[in-house]
Amino acid sequence: MKKGMARRAIAATLAIGVGITLAACSGSGGGDTGGSVKAGDYSGPKVTVTFWNGWTGGAAPVLVPKLVKKFNAEHKNIVVKDVPMEWGDIAKKMPLAVKAGKGPDLAVGHGDDIATYAAQGLLLKSDSIVKSLGYTDSDFPAGLMKDGNYNGSQYGIPWSVTPLGLYVNKDVLKQAGLDPSNLPTDKQSYLAALQALKAKGIQGEWVDGFVFTGTFEFESLLWQYGGELFNDDVSKATFNSDAGVKALTWMTDLIKNGYSPSNVAQDGNINALVASKTAFNWNGVWQTTNTALSKVDWTAVPVPQIGDQKAVWSSSTHWMFMNNKGQDKNKTSAAATFVKWMNDHSSGWAETGELPAANSVRNDPALVQKYPNLKPFLEELPYAHYETVAPGITNVEATITTAVNEAVLGKKTPKQALDDAVKQANQLLEQNKSQYGG
């Protein structure tokens, strides 16, 4: 995935290895500071703002330096220093660096990272910054600002979102006599297409048991069936509900009924789509920049509604202001000016395979005109579900993938896989409560 979301595969190890030694003495986040920001315009002395991010792949390593260079040229009293590194390295280095006063002034994190960093005391409360920049919930997709909120305080400002969609190989559909202009939107039409493909010897959707993208598909289906991953205060896992069993059974039935092969390798589904071996793939908006897709006639549409309501998984990224020991308020204020400027100038971010979070930018008709492949993903945002917000949640999320993998490989029934995973998840949630408080 663009921007390194594969770091989730090592998230549990990092959370355990880094967080335990720090959380007990860290408190619950830094003091609220807005420095001298006013309407996104820093007017203090010249400062250098260090900016850590995980944009090391695709178009991002080209685009970010260009944006930073443009910003620096327009702001004589601010120099932003772009420091890209792997997402996993950020998670590993950030705690010790911030505690020593050597961390960045600004960083970007995923929605399920923010609460962990805040609980460790690594982030500044940014309520006054949000206010000074004029942001409200309505400036971003519904519910997204909540991903930056922990214990009643704001610790992040949205930057981008990356929902799942349905990728379609039109040539494969034609082989089965299906009309590529009449694509499935619900359970009935999706099953009809899969059956028509099967009749021609084509397995229409390759189901995998990996984070990319089996876990994301399962979570989308869980929400479609009316379920939730966790209870309201994230003290108990609930993904083994009837909704969860229905969702995972739908996926395993695709294999059982011959619509999907068994034991699909990591990325085997998108590779099969590119190789014209399958017609459908549930995958993220980041694949719109996959140059391998240029080999086939493809399109993307919103994921079909298999359950009782529309729902789709999405990740998000957020700006975070760091609570370094001895943090310079002028640098924080200058960082806030940079954040506002970046959000205002984020239309080009679609080039990296992500959707800008700022409604004012994302809803501009010019965005779709320039990047037409993004249209179906934009349509999904009103019913998108974002990451769970709770300290240490990434290691708990790994249990969901374990359940999906075990069921998809036929090692356990969907119910047994989910029940076992929930038991482990609840143990981890208890450990997180002891580690981070709450």
The residue extents of the domains of the chain are: 2-162+314-384, 164-313+392-436
**pLDDT digits (tens), the chain, 438 positions:** 444 444 444 343 333 233 323 333 344 566 654 444 555 689 999 999 999 999 998 889 999 999 999 999 999 999 999 999 999 999 999 999 999 999 999 999 999 999 999 999 999 999 999 999 999 999 999 999 999 999 999 999 999 999 999 999 999 999 999 999 999 999 999 999 999 999 999 999 999 999 999 999 999 999 999 999 999 999 999 999 999 999 999 999 999 999 999 999 999 999 999 999 999 999 999 999 999 999 999 999 999 999 999 999 999 999 999 999 999 999 999 999 999 999 999 999 999 999 999 999 999 999 999 999 999 999 999 999 999 999 999 999 999 999 999 999 999 999 999 999 999 999 999 999 999 986
Q: Which CATH architecture has domain 2-162+314-384?
A: 3-Layer(aba) Sandwich (3.40)
Q: Do 270 and 290 touch, CB atoms closer than 8 A?
A: yes
Phi, psi of 229 (to 5 degrees): -70, -40
Phi, psi of 165 (to 5 degrees): -145, 180
Query: How does strand 149-150 pair with strand 298-301?
Result: unpaired
What is the structure's pLDDT at 11?
40
By residue count, the chain amounts to: 438
Taking the C-alpha atoms of residue 284 and residue 101, their distance in angstroms, rounded to an integer, is 37
Q: Do 51 and 79 touch, CB atoms closer than 8 A?
A: no
What is the structure's pLDDT at 370?
96
Considering the four listed CATH numbers 3.40.190.80, 3.40.190.10, 3.80.10.10, 3.65.10.10, the one that applies to the domain covering 164-313+392-436 is 3.40.190.10
The answer to whether the 2-162+314-384 and 164-313+392-436 domains have the same CATH topology is yes
312 forms bridges with which residues in the sheet? 384
What is the structure's pLDDT at 28?
52
Instruction: Tell me, yes or no, if the pTM score tops 0.85.
Output: yes
